[in-house]
Structure 1
Amino acid sequence: MSKILMCGRWLLPAVFLGWFATMATAQPQTVDGFDRLGDWELILADGVHGELTQEDGSIRLDYDFSAGAGYIVLRKHVGMDIDRNYRFGLR
């Protein structure tokens, strides 16, 4: 019984160290610096008007839904490999 307790005593710290090592190696990756408009595609519903312009470190979208309801899609192809267990963070 004491051998089981000794093993259990070290199990939690070992699991924590393994988890921490995995998290420490994961580095954030910038997908887009928003420095080029040409990589982005603007898709507009009928009756919706939109325009992209370049701002400092960002892309600005001016829109007009004056004709009623609709949608605007701003799309960009992102060529990157993603692990099975991934997470996106937005600010």
Structure 2
Amino acid sequence: MSIDSNVRELLSSIPRNVAIEAAAKTRALEEVLEAIRAGIGIIGENYLQEAEELIPLIDERVRWHFIGTLQGGKIRRIVSLFDMIETVGSLKHAELIDK
């Protein structure tokens, strides 16, 4: 089954008020685009470096969520690139995000 058909089947089987987030971790650009065009509106990414390469290549309007492990030295870049950070493992990191 293709990504397109999987996404469409999933979206048709859940309530409209439920949001689905697709993890882009190690996926090719074409696979991420196929998921977005099938109706995915939130993309989760584990790795900052992959996101920095992928996000500029995608014209479609989607929300980007960081779902990886935070590293203190990268928090500023993560905050500027992502719409949401879902993984905050310490108060220190939360305070850095808040700055």
Greater fraction of residues in strand? 1
Greater fraction of residues in helix? 2
Rg larger in 1 or in 2? 1
Q: TM-score, normalised by structure 1?
A: 0.22
